Amino acid sequence: MQVILHTGVHCTDNDMILKCLLRNTDEWRREGIAIPGPSKYRTLLSDAINRLVNSTPGSDTREILFDAILEEDPNSVKRLLLSNENFFSVPKLMFSGGLIYRKAEARLSTLARIFDQDDIELFIGLRDPASFLPAAYHTTPHTDFLDFMSGVDMMQFRWSDLIRRIRTDVPSIKITCWSNEDSPFIWGEILRTMAGIDMSRKITGAFELFSTIVSKEGMQRFRGFLKENPTINEDQKRRVMMAILDKYALEDAIEEELDLPGWNEPLIDHLTATYEADLDIIATIPGVRMIAP
């Protein structure tokens, strides 16, 4: 079986990926693609990993979990899609121990031992630290930003460090990444890639995220264009989306307030430039696939 695990990161899609996947459940089930509801596995899988982190799973652990998670016969499932942004950590502890998601490798290693008969692939949306750090901080009970960072120097923060750690410790798990800032334009590709289906196939929710950043009129024009041009490819769709966004953007939806004390424009620009360079580095890491416009 192929086990596809989406782990956020925090403050990216806010479970919208899972919601869009679930809207396609009935159609995809006939093809052996299973998308269980989050209550079926989030707590169950996390508890199992916590118990087994320093021990060997029993020979029946895999079957017990599949029986609990799946409504279908596990033998009929070819691809299992799971999503949990708290799989590595809850937000308030994401920098605990001086690393971003310091338990990521151990948790994934345990997952790989449990599902040692299966192919596991990790899906991670990354976000510009200039907006990620304030957003994540504001979801926690912390009242001091430095306490939240737990000794991590935000100027040295790199997502590539996390990706390299995972690839080094759990090389059997392939990783698919994308930039959260690109998500509205590659949303359909993310969903199709998770499901393992053809990029040209119509799915429900392919433009769900794009619809949150443009006006109703803009979406009407975009859908009208698609109806008149049903054979255009993904690159052409994205160019049209860019043009629609330029004219019909919802400014409140795309503007972010970065209201941390001491933050200024040069600091924000530096974090963003470093992030963009880091994405280029991540794309070169063996075993990593980068989805980009």
Cβ-contact 6, 16 below 8 angstroms: no
Q: Is residue 102 part of a domain?
A: yes
Full pLDDT tens readout for the chain, 293 residues: 999 999 999 999 999 999 999 999 999 999 999 999 999 999 999 999 999 988 899 999 999 999 999 999 999 999 999 999 999 999 999 999 999 999 999 999 999 999 999 999 999 999 999 999 999 999 999 999 999 999 999 999 999 999 999 999 999 999 999 999 999 999 999 999 999 999 989 999 999 999 999 999 999 999 999 999 988 888 899 999 999 999 999 988 767 767 788 899 999 999 999 999 999 999 999 999 999 99
Closest by CA to 291, choosing from 164, 150, 121, is 121
3-state secondary structure of 4: strand
Closest by CA to 214, choosing from 182, 184, 189, is 184
Q: Is residue 225 part of a domain?
A: no
Q: What DSSP line would sit under 207-227, residue for residue?
A: TTTGGGTB-HHHHHHHHHHHH
- Tell me the residue range of the domain where 183 lies: 2-203+262-291
Q: Is residue 71 part of a domain?
A: yes
Q: Is residue 245 part of a domain?
A: no
> pTM of the predicted model, to two decimals?
0.95
Structural domain count of the chain: 1
